[in-house]
Structure 1
């Protein structure tokens, strides 16, 4: 566990912001111009025409460094308990030399599990198949998100079956960085089954069920255990421990003291630092 004292977070954010900005200087020497493309369908036209709600919801936005080459990409899934929320490009990740792909997915009660997980996998596969055309490096695709979005990131990264449907190996993901995501079966999925939110379940729709030693690097970030949603820190701590016991070499957990479930502000610099770390490791290993 990596336990950050509240008083140290502000200084750490300043330092990490500098490091994140250094990513821009490291990857590109010229001034970067950014472009945004909105509401791009990630299912094909025939599939979308068959379902009006899917056609409406299953779109993504792309914010990317225009005319740059081999940039890293962060796929970002919004939170909202799998029942609400909309795609949003986090301002804290903008102008940092990275591409951000913000994804909408279908929501309960209009759909039930596992359709929103299907959507998450379809969106990530779209990025793998298309990012090169915008100048991005397909070997530097990172998957992240907050709360329900963190759950989706963990599910499609740890359970290889979701991306396998699209011909993508989940191990091709450069890094998984869920923010305060469920490690057990999501409470909305339990609600769909009539199970109370305080009754934990670990089954095939839980990231914990898919612990494996060969998964992509995994950085787990939560708020303060005493301020988080019920058990959210403890779930992630157990996932970290089981990944390590399984033999996974790159699982870390950061707990942000003084922050509750809405802990994204101090977590974004940690996300960017992890992207930088993995890029540097890749370059060192060449």
Structure 2
């Protein structure tokens, strides 16, 4: 029996928020709809955060209001606090996401509070979401390394992941934010966290800064993880390593999994067309080796 792996498409949110230029609402809407048409069952739609801090995510409410939502597709939005949650609820978001970190320094610099304080902030969001029947996804940043502290041990990740899961997050996405992790480190991480959170509730979010993302995905697959975040065309550079790639490209992930016998439900040809389209709008080459190879082959 063919095993299924779910790809969570983060390009419209995590990808675009780390691109230098902003794109307009109609382009964001079309990108989200194209990705859903390409078979993605979960497409991040935006972030309800201050446009002062993340200008690329301005007008996420307008984007979510205009997207034609497909049946069976989830459109998560980032909601770091109650104000963000209320914005998401106003546009009938079906899933919201909260972000914690495994590094105290990253938490302080990224969301201006300690790890413990961030978890306290998420409690009312998760409680409100539960009462409204909205699912909550939890993210943990810097699970394999931090731009300020260097290496991060699994022992620092476990309590954060467990806290989010125990509060009611249905899934915990473990993020290698700066893309420094290796397969053996990934295996050790998954094994440690799976001792506190069921592996069925874990997802991998691997950046490709050091070219390790696909290898890390396969290490996580070997440990039983079946959900992975990726970004069409590799949208989103790494803000902590100038010029480096950030998110792993969805096309590369889908190609690798499908050719290895896993089902993703993704229409690779449609995804490649979307990758080329958004890359042309951004004025750059696609960040996917699969897309570049298909382009070269004509």
TM interval, short-chain normalised: 0.3 to 0.5
Q: As a proportion of its length, which structure holds more strand?
A: 1
Q: As a proportion of its length, which structure holds more helix?
A: 2
